[in-house]
A and B are shown apart, each in its own frame.
Chain A
């Protein structure tokens, strides 16, 4: 998987890429959590929190954005940063997943929301799943 942070006037524009759709979702979670707590998921984290979430959406783009929004809400509700995703069920319109993370003292960045703006989950010419995600900061 590949995670890049691109320029945006006021917010954060993230580009994620992966060979499988599930991997793209995992990249989204790691990319977002590494904003909430700088580089947190790149460390060897001992998880002490888990959360189950279920999402149904119109298409894979909405599914990804709604999925990341749920992870973000769980992060604030539990004051935890989530890095690992285990899909119990996955299709382009529906998923049940267990996310695992660790409780923290404070966040490094406050993400207000995961937006649908510019999000478009699709395969590129190299047969990789790719999308942009804009976070409202």
Chain B
């Protein structure tokens, strides 16, 4: 199936639509949030074919959507949002992805970049020592069977109870770092085994820990509410549920493919395998997914503890410790209420490479953020810049309260490795004041800035379209990768 520009209609600035008449099995239109130049870039891979496939999911409401950082995935595109009718619309594990609750969090300090610039090399090395990273690497914590059950049920709270976290952090996480529907008995022994020694580890690929400073403030009032100020040093953490989440998704996609014929469901791609949310298989997956999401929040809390240890080892205990600004998921499914055709409707929102971006007044937010809206953290590519945005009411109207999640990949890993000389890139970044600590040069080459879209263009698009507003721009000074 080919999609040409003539098949795509402009609805309004930054919003494009492939009508549901484009292919017979589409139940809703497919919509793209992008500037025209980003849309042209998006059309270079098969993202839009995958978006059209998503529009065929049983019970899908409104439209299948992609954010401006979308790129081709497997089944769902990365950067996709799909809302299905609660309680009997589809739940599709592929619409969450294998890295369940992959997400980002931002820790803030009281230090200014000028105060610590001479310590950056030492800080990046200490972070690399304290935070285990790399392919299949284990961490400092080895969970017993009982401890694993507790992590899966309690999420970030477990880390706090065991002294690996800070109680005040919990209010500053999406869903307060714990999904209530988790059922640890629905997570396989293999998944638990894979996750037993990976708590507090970032893994490899595009996961990282990064030290940045606030280069620019766009909205003083919101920045102040979030505790951000110009020149401030912050720490950005990007990782998910590691091998445990990968195994949960693998286990349930397999089960759901086998179960689909029982519900008369056919999908254009097996990675879109789905069952009714309220079916036994759907509920089992959802509860296991919630458990894996809890593991991910606990993981990022433990990594924060490791980052805080590194911070203290370099700057001493007289310097104020790192404080959590916010933690958001970008691979998750949630039951939420949205207005569809003027009616309040409960839906199962799948976000795969997309961030929740709820506006001011959202009751889950801590009091200090209620007027500003939910923080949205957008990591850029290594060596470029990242952003803090604030969710808006407009996101609920256009994108089921969702926003982009990053810059979006442009080049394949192979192409990046062919084009990038990693040792040279590392030196060039160092000349620009960015220290990189990585397990391999391959990892640096694959994640080079050239492999990604321009995060500035992506953020301008979401900002101009009104689904989030710019609060602050972050500039990296140290990157720790697997």
Chain A interface, >50% SS class: loop
* Stretch touching chain A among B12-20, B116-124, B253-261: B253-261
Chain B interface, >50% SS class: mixed
CB-contact partner of B71 in A5, A10, A77, A119, under 8 A: A10
- Tell yes or no: B414 within 8 A of A by CB: yes
Residues of A within 8 A of B71 (CB): 9-10
B404-438 vs A, Cβ < 8 Å mask (1 yes, 0 no): 00000111111100000000000000000000000
B412 and A115 form a contact (CB under 8 A): no
A137 and B194 form a contact (CB under 8 A): no
Most buried by A among B74, B136, B190, B271: B74
How near does chain A come to B101, taking the closest CB pair, in angstroms?
Answer: 13
- Tell yes or no: B183 within 8 A of A by CB: no
How near does chain A come to B445, taking the closest CB pair, in angstroms?
Answer: 13
- Tell yes or no: B230 within 8 A of A by CB: no
Beta-carbon contacts under 8 Å, B60-99 to A: 71-75, 78, 97-99
* Stretch touching chain A among B27-35, B166-174, B244-252, B372-380: B244-252
- Tell yes or no: B204 within 8 A of A by CB: yes
Beta-carbon contacts under 8 Å, A98-137 to B: 106-110, 112-119, 134, 136-137
Residues of B within 8 A of A106 (CB): 134-137
CB-contact partner of B74 in A69, A109, A110, A134, under 8 A: A134
How near does chain B come to A130, taking the closest CB pair, in angstroms?
Answer: 18
Beta-carbon contacts under 8 Å, B448-482 to A: 482
A58 and B257 form a contact (CB under 8 A): yes
Beta-carbon contacts under 8 Å, B178-234 to A: 190, 193-194, 203-205
B75 and A117 form a contact (CB under 8 A): yes
- Tell yes or no: A12 within 8 A of B by CB: yes
- Tell yes or no: B45 within 8 A of A by CB: yes
- Tell yes or no: B142 within 8 A of A by CB: no
Chain B minimum-CB-distance residue to A72: B250
CB<8 Å pairs between A and B, sample of 8: A9-B72, A9-B409, A58-B257, A112-B98, A115-B271, A116-B74, A118-B74, A136-B98
- Further contacts, 11 of them, CB under 8 A, given A7-B415, A77-B190: A9-B412, A10-B73, A76-B136, A77-B193, A108-B440, A108-B442, A110-B135, A112-B99, A116-B257, A116-B270, A117-B271
